[in-house]
Amino acid sequence: MSKYCIAVIEGDGIGREVVPEGIRVLEAVGRRFDIDFSWQHFNWSCESYPKTGRMMPDDGLVQLRPFDAIYLGAVGYPGVPDHVSLWGLLIPIRRAFQQYVNLRPARLLRGINSPLKSADHERIDFCIVRENNEGEYSEIGGRLYRDTDAEMATQEAVFTRRGCDRVMRYAFELARARGRHVTSATKSNGIIHTMPFWDERFAQMAREFPDVRVDRYHIDILTAHFVSHPDWFDVVVASNLFGDILSDLGAAVVGSIGLVPSANLNPERAYPSMFEPVHGSAPDIAGKGVANPVAQIRSGAMMLQHLGEPKAAEAVESACESVLEKSSIRTPDIGGRANTRELGEAIAHEISLVARV
């Protein structure tokens, strides 16, 4: 029997509703595949912030370090400014643990309608590889002359050769295992220093992978192509900001942001990786019990894959798709009336039907 110790941060809003369903499904798959999970919950959130003045304790990263993986819901809620919650919890974990790849698959599942009329289930299946440690999300900058007419703000983007190369190499290696095609998201016409540098590093990396087809688009037309020709893409590598935006667009193309998972990966496995849905805490539906748990559950499948349990990961993916295709149990975001728990239970039940290995 394999045994994994998982740190769980439900976080805020619907994170508290979807994480229990993710754990329900992972427990179910563990029973079929002889995997034992030990869950340790960390109650770090915007709710605890006013009491402690911190999104996580001073030694929060030290506490998380020994775990095999981190399973996160969502961070951020009205009452705490978003930049405080994000920079107090999520971003420090991604950076300290060198989770420099944010892998965000966008696949149109059977049983789900895309808002695109021409959508073909076989052909909308791509992965966004978002740089997760540097780029436009940097602390370098500042404010001057506050509360005067001369008030100003600056923000520096940081692109390093090491940072670009390692995420691009990951994207090319992933493409080798998939459709042998990498698209780079750029904006080197308007952004005069960092984006031409990004293009140079991409061209250099492409030379190491002559068997992988490459193309590149400026981010503006790339967003249009995501809508008009989503079947053109296999692996899309992008900077932190561009990748963040593209992944919500990818989610919309495949039917709902409530369906798409993500992994914050430290490919060298020197530190724990973190698995969370693409979506946030959804304050508009929090507490109603109607959030779609599939993104959280599929993030659990990505965690299993990373932990070296590919069959169990595949069982979770198949169970999600099977329930969405064959049953009428679906949450309101995908046209149904079921609640979060009902959909989670249906997927866990589907897994219980898989032959024990």
Strands 69-74 and 2-11, how do they pair?
Answer: parallel
298 binds ligand NAD per the rule CB under 6 A: no
> Quick one: which of 1, 50, 284, 357 contacts ligand NAD (CB under 6 A)?
284
* Other Cβ atoms closer than 10 A to 238: 27
257 binds ligand NAD per the rule CB under 6 A: yes
Pattern of binders to ligand NAD over 304-333, x per CB under 6 A?
-----------------------------x
Q: Which is nearer to ligand NAD, 93 or 312 (CB)?
A: 93
Q: Which residues of 169-181 are buried (b: 16+ CB within 10 A; e: fewer)?
A: bbbbbbbeebbeb
The beta-strand segments (E) located in 16-76 are 35-41, 69-74
> Quick one: which of 168, 282, 343, 351 contacts ligand NAD (CB under 6 A)?
282
Q: Which is nearer to ligand NAD, 18 or 319 (CB)?
A: 18
> Quick one: which of 29, 116, 237, 295 contacts ligand NAD (CB under 6 A)?
295
Pattern of binders to ligand NAD over 203-242, x per CB under 6 A?
----------------------------------------
280 binds ligand NAD per the rule CB under 6 A: yes
Q: Which two tokens stand for residue 289?
A: 């019990």
Q: Which two tokens stand for residue 340?
A: 């979060």
21 binds ligand NAD per the rule CB under 6 A: no
Asked if 163 and 134 count as a contact pair (C-beta separation under 8 A), the reply is yes
> Quick one: which of 30, 135, 243, 258 contacts ligand NAD (CB under 6 A)?
258
Strands 125-131 and 101-107, how do they pair?
Answer: antiparallel
> Quick one: which of 132, 184, 292, 305 contacts ligand NAD (CB under 6 A)?
292
14 binds ligand NAD per the rule CB under 6 A: yes
> Quick one: which of 26, 28, 70, 75 contacts ligand NAD (CB under 6 A)?
75
* Other Cβ atoms closer than 10 A to 207: 8
Q: How far apart, in Å, are the Cα atoms of 217 and each of 139, 333, 355?
A: 28, 31, 45
What is the 3 state secondary structure string of 251-310?
Answer: HHHCCCHHHCEEEEECCCCCCCEEEEECCCCCCCCCCCCCCCCHHHHHHHHHHHHHHCCH
Binding segment for ligand NAD among 34-42, 198-206, 210-218, 288-296 (CB under 6 A)?
A: 288-296
- Give the three-state DSSP class for 326: helix
> Quick one: which of 279, 298, 306, 330 contacts ligand NAD (CB under 6 A)?
279
Which residues here bind ligand NAD, judged by CB under 6 A? Answer: 14, 18, 74-77, 82, 86, 90, 257-258, 276, 279-285, 291-292, 295, 333
